[in-house]
Amino acid sequence: MSDETIQERALRVIAVKQRLPLESVTPESTFESLGIDSLDRLNILFDLEGEFDIEINDEEAKKVETMQQMVDGIQKLVDAKQQKAAEAQ
């Protein structure tokens, strides 16, 4: 688990929660190509926020179309969280 990259974790969470074959969710996949509608997107944001303990901004989330964009966004939020934690120490 701990060896998983952010990308692997994010794609795994999306695949598992959306009941999609793991290999079908790739960085190039779009929400559209995966057949993910607006309510599924809400669920994905909820699941990813829980997985990474982050808060994803509504407006930023609306711009996301591909899994790669989602992973990049999560990476940014995780980095910011870690930096904040480091500063606090």
Residues that bind another protein (CB under 8 A): 37-39, 42, 45-46, 55, 58-59, 61
> Using CA atoms, how far apart are residues 22 and 79, in angstroms rounded to an integer?
25
Nearer to another protein, 8 or 60 (CB): 60
State the nearest-atom distance from the C-beta of 15 to another protein, in Å.
Answer: 22
State the nearest-atom distance from the C-beta of 30 to another protein, in Å.
Answer: 19
37 is catalytic: yes
Q: What are phi and psi of 30, to 5 degrees?
A: -110, 160
State the nearest-atom distance from the C-beta of 21 to another protein, in Å.
Answer: 25
Q: For residue 60, what are the contacts with CB-CB under 8 A and spacing of at least 6?
A: 73
> Using CA atoms, how far apart are residues 72 and 78, in angstroms rounded to an integer?
10
- Which residues does the annotation mark as catalytic? 37
